[in-house]
Chain A
Amino acid sequence: MINFSLQEANPMLAPEYIPLAILFILATALGFLVVIIGNLFGPRRPSIRKAMPYESGMRPIGVGTRRTPVRFYLTAMLFILFDVEVIFFLPWAVVFRELGLSGLIEMGLFLLILLIGFIYAWKKGALEWE
């Protein structure tokens, strides 16, 4: 049957992580503390101007839920696609020396295929802003 336990020591309980835990707790507590103190002791004089959405001190222009131009979307999608490939580089980099030349060639082929896609996107004008 399946063994649902692991015999090794848990690295997350190691003593060097204790300061990190303390920092985490303190940071959370401080955040709450500031909000609570401000609410208890601060003066409260609400006005219309104060209730307005904060837009770097200026009077807000237009509605908050404006449509974003679709160009942003295209750029973001290209970014995601060419960004996610890095996920394959990381493990490759870890075992780079063991894989040697054949690993390098394989990664070169991988990049070549990506490059064709990139050239295609470029030629089709996906990188032009207008």
Chain B
Amino acid sequence: MIPLSWYLIFAAALFSIGLFGVLARKNAVAILLGVELMLNAVNVNLVAFWRYRAPNMIAGQAFAIMIFAVAAAEVAVGLSLFISIYRRRKTVVANEIDLMKW
């Protein structure tokens, strides 16, 4: 039997990789990929917690399903925003998009 902590460590590692990607990568698509990794880490967490902590209540699984759907919507919106910015500037690199800064 795999202990719960393994799943949690795996999810934490996945989350950290995702967060690192978000903070370190400059390309907007790569940043969005990092966010997806973070969301998947959350899903691993939720399903593992559901199985080990509250297998009778469906909440954890339902939560994971919602996250899938929302993540798809977020990516669709994100990519269309990237395309609209690419059309005007020919770049989606985050630190080249700096028309406004203080």
Contact = CB atoms under 8 A, between A and B. Distances in A.
Do A and B touch (CB < 8 Å)? Answer: yes
Interface of A: 2-6, 10, 70, 73, 77, 80-81, 84-85, 87-88, 91
12 contacts: A6-B1, A6-B4, A6-B51, A10-B2, A80-B72, A80-B76, A81-B73, A84-B69, A84-B73, A85-B69, A88-B65, A91-B62
Consensus secondary structure, chain A interface: helix
Please provide the 10 A-B residue pairs with the shortest distance between their CB atoms, ordered closest to farther: A84-B72, A4-B4, A10-B1, A77-B76, A84-B69, A6-B52, A87-B65, A80-B72, A87-B68, A87-B69
Nearest to A10: B1
Interface of B: 1-5, 51-53, 62, 65, 68-69, 72-73, 75-76, 79-80, 83
Nearest to A4: B4
Given A10-B2, A87-B69, A2 B53 contact: yes
Nearest to A85: B69
A10 B4 CA distance: 13
A5 B40 CA distance: 23
